[in-house]
Amino acid sequence: MGKTVLIVDDSASMRQLVSFALRDAGYDVIDAINGKDAMSKLNGTKIEMVITDLNMPEMDGIEFIKQVRNNPGYKFTPIVMLTTESQESKKQEGKQAGASGWIVKPFTPEQLIDIVKKFAR
Amino acid sequence: MVDFKKLYSIFVDEAMERIAELEDGLLQFEKSSEDKELLNTIFRAAHTIKGSSGSIGLKDISAFTHHMEEILDMVRQEKLSPDKELINTLLDATDMIKEMVGCVASETVFDFGRCEGLLKRMEEIKKSPESGGKSQEIKTFKIIFAPSHDLFKRGIDPAMIIDDLRGIGEIVSIKCLTEAVPALSDMNPENLYLRWDIQLRTDKDASEIKNVFEFVEEGSEIKIFPVSTTGKDVPFIGKMLIDEGVVKAEDVEDALKSQKRLGEILAEQGKVSPVNVEKALEKQRNIKMDSFKKSVSSTIRVDLGKLDHLINIVGEMVIIHSMFQQAIQGGNWLSVTDNGGNGKNGSLMTHNSAQNMEALFSQLQRIGKDIQESAMSLRMLPVGEIFQRFIRLVRELSASKNKDIELIITGEDTELDKGVLEKIADPLVHLIRNSIDHGIETPQERLNKGKPEKGTIHLSAYQMGDAVYIDVEDDGRGLNKEKIVQNAMSKGIITNDQGLTDEQICNLIFMPGFSTADTVTDVSGRGVGMDVVKKNIESLNGKVYIRTRQDTGTTISIKLPLTLAIIDGLTVLIGEEIFVIPITSVVESLRPNRMEVKSLNEKVEVINVRGEYIPLMRLYEILGITSWKKDPWDAIVIVTMHEGRKYGLLADELLGEQQIVIKNLGTATPKVRGIAGGTILGDGRVALVLDVPGIAEMVKKQVTT
């Protein structure tokens, strides 16, 4: 069975792009539309890695990262943020919250796969 | 013509800050030459000095700085590689600018003829062709990777980094360092304590290696430096010749070994006497020291947060003030109390006047204390202000002694009173020099002892209780107790070593006239020794401690009071006068019985305190005032301690303990023996503060004569 990656983004096209690229590379993908949705999908599922956007309605990425880190089952799970160049301060916030790394948007599928390979060992 | 003179002082302040940035920046850049942001900071500093000096008519400074700026720009564009020669030249140029600015400050004329040598050196550097940089040759890098403890908690596996390194080159060796792993009882299993020392052979340059660490950079310590095949610093020309294949690396090293210093050559040719060379060297060092001392200015930069806080409380005080007014006028007043945020912001209450006043008064008291604390904190500066300067000192002194020494600085955020900070720089220079000169062994000696070739000096500052500690710790040879005893005996400081504890032996090095160095060396050991260090620190109400172990190292620990101005004092009454004794020197107070007071002769009295005889000083006699209680058994004896000895001071009555602000007696009064200063007590009366060390000295004289 392949490794499972959770992608959290409110933009449907981004979710699709990421899912497509990752499935192509042999990963299983679960998607969620915001932090709240993601938390409910995370519950108990075995996940190798999380990729999350930062600006989302209901529960934003920072809060989501904090909650994931506070959940004993996902304390050490790699979390990669999707950021834009202009979000330097957000990036800092995310790191403080416990994110493992980041990908700067826009990215190519190859760049995405590289990062995922790196973290989802 | 516009008169620029008025602008000079502003320029000097700003330029000094930029110079400090330049210096710190260059020293750091030497270690992490891939740090583009740092390079930009350095460049901007030079650029600002050039611009501001030019705009107020200091054309020569501007022109000189322009050269530095050009070189830095070329480094930025990777047309030049920042080798040791380049950094050295820029550091020397920075010193030169410092002197120029110093001349502007003191309104003296700077001799720009002195710059010529440096200008030539800078020209040379600018002419040198693009070297190294982006070449595709395969190099070996040493990588120290000390990840932050919480790496696992951020979902990162350190093995990922090592895999990535494998992706860009060949890992020649990899060592896992376990020194930082704590004892099992202190270990948090979720923390990462391991560090790695990796040798990587790659055709990539350091910045590409650094990219691998992108996600773990924060909180981790990552050092990447090329391992040169020759292993030693080779001057630029030598490096070029080796690169071009004209000479072999070994030949250059041999040539370097036979190279002599200018002073030696001149002395050999009989042009100057070695004594003169030594004198000139001494002068050169003093110039360097002077420029070092000037680095603490008389203005102070205050953290904006601290200032805001102060303004905030002052605002509160103004409110209390108007509340007082209301309370006095009306009798009824409004009180705003917090009802726990349930929507009602406050309630209206009436009190009678006396109660009001009391409540207001206690608030005012609290605010007064806050203001005092806050105002004092404005004087507090991070010790980093002076610590940073030591990097340079260690770098230069260790090079001159052919030792490889690294200075590690921790706790640079620890704050100290500005007054203390200024006075602590000199003693620290002395201690660090001592470590470099006497403490740390030569690389060969160290290798023979099985120690790492590179010596370490650890300069750390930390706060513990109401004191700040500054430690200078080296991993050198440690104090040689036998040698100390021998030396102290030969100098007549002690007559025999009977009954001396290890601690007492170590403390012998603080005695005047003591110096263990067998020969006088360049760096230290010129007679003025540790006694001066101790005196300086004691004048700050501080203390010095030594911990040492043979072949393991020496730690000199300086304990300093948080501030000079406020002390805890014991107030005593003598006749009609109140005096304050600093509580740090008080051991106890007691009323002896008749039998416990004995006189040795007319002058000297002692009291028996539980079997220990200590000299008794009648304060009214020393101070020349009248007292009501002349008999010790009616009065009170305050036992004080100075330099490990106890002294009893006789006073009429003990009043209590309070915090006092010491004030200088001012220049109008001549220096009074036994008095350290004055203070205003809570009730507005003036009291004098006793100088216990001074009084102790007087006792010593009386006992011995």
Convert the pLDDT of each residue in B446-474 to its tens digit: 999 888 888 999 999 988 766 788 999 99
Cis amide leading into A106 (omega within 30): yes
The reported pLDDT for the residue numbered B487 is: 79
The arithmetic mean of pLDDT across residues B224-237, rounded, is 58
Q: Which of B154, B164, B190 sits opposite A100 (nearest CB)?
A: B154
Q: Which of B156, B159, B164 sits opposite A78 (nearest CB)?
A: B156
B604-638 residue pLDDT tens: 889 999 988 999 989 998 888 888 888 889 999 99
Q: Which of A75, A101, A121 sits opposite B153 (nearest CB)?
A: A75
Residue B335 has pLDDT above 50, yes or no: no
Residues on chain A touching B218 (C-beta within 8 angstroms):
95
The arithmetic mean of pLDDT across residues B387-404, rounded, is 86
Indicate the average pLDDT of chain A.
87
Where exactly are the structural domains of chain A? 4-119
Residue B337 has pLDDT above 50, yes or no: no
Phi and psi dihedrals of B189, rounded to 5?
-60, -15
Phi and psi dihedrals of B510, rounded to 5?
-90, -5
Residues on chain A touching B188 (C-beta within 8 angstroms):
none
Residues on chain B touching A101 (C-beta within 8 angstroms):
156, 214-215
Residue B341 has pLDDT above 60, yes or no: no
Share of chain B above pLDDT 70, in %: 83
Q: CA-CA distance, B341 to B316, in Å (whole number)?
A: 21
The reported pLDDT for the residue numbered B161 is: 86
Site of tokens 């990162």: B156
Q: What CATH number was assigned to the domain covering residues B381-561?
A: 3.30.565.10
Q: CA-CA distance, A46 to B626, in Å (whole number)?
A: 88
The reported pLDDT for the residue numbered B524 is: 41
Chosen for mutation from B154, B164, B214 (greatest number of chain A CBs closer than 10 Å) is: B154
The arithmetic mean of pLDDT across residues B28-37, rounded, is 80
Q: What CATH number was assigned to the domain covering residues B139-226?
A: 3.30.70.260
Q: Is B650 exposed, middle or buried (0-12, 13-18, 19+ CB in 10 A)?
A: buried
The reported pLDDT for the residue numbered B289 is: 52
ipTM of the complex: 0.76
CATH of B5-127 among 1.20.120.160, 1.10.460.10, 1.10.599.10, 3.10.20.30: 1.20.120.160
Task: Of A12-16, B294-298, B419-423, B652-656, give the range with the top mean pLDDT.
Answer: B652-656
The reported pLDDT for the residue numbered B173 is: 83
Third-level CATH fold of A4-119: Rossmann fold (3.40.50)
Q: How far is CA B286 from CA B290, B295, B426, B433, B435, in A?
A: 6, 14, 13, 14, 19
Neighbours of A40 (CB within 10 A): 9
The reported pLDDT for the residue numbered B239 is: 62
Q: CA-CA distance, B199 to B171, in Å (whole number)?
A: 6
B187's CB contacts (< 8 A; 6+ apart) are B181, B193
Between chains, do B160 and A101 touch, taking CB under 8 Å as contact? no
The reported pLDDT for the residue numbered B667 is: 67
In which band, very low, low, confident or very high, does the pLDDT at B316 lie, cut at 50, 70 and 90?
confident
The reported pLDDT for the residue numbered B511 is: 78
Residue of A nearest to B190 (CA): A76
Between chains, do A98 and B154 touch, taking CB under 8 Å as contact? yes
Q: What's the start-to-end Cα distance of chain B, in Å?
A: 71
Between chains, do A100 and B156 touch, taking CB under 8 Å as contact? yes
Indicate the average pLDDT of chain B.
79
Do B206 and B33 touch, CB atoms closer than 8 A?
A: yes
B595's CB contacts (< 8 A; 6+ apart) are B608
Q: Which helix (H) or strand (E) holds B13?
A: helix B5-31
Tell me the three state secondary structure of residue B626.
coil
Q: CA-CA distance, B698 to B485, in Å (whole number)?
A: 28
The reported pLDDT for the residue numbered B241 is: 67
**Model confidence, pTM:** 0.43
Q: Which of A69, A77, A121 sits opposite B160 (nearest CB)?
A: A121
Pairing of strands A49-53, A79-84: parallel
Q: CA-CA distance, B297 to B294, in Å (whole number)?
A: 7
Within chain B, all domains assigned CATH 3.30.565.10 are found at 381-561
Output DSSP code: residue B130: P
Tell me the three state secondary structure of residue B160.
helix
Domain B566-704 indexed as CATH 2.40.70.10: no
Neighbours of B6 (CB within 10 A): 9
Nearest-Cα distance to chain A for B385, in Å, is: 27
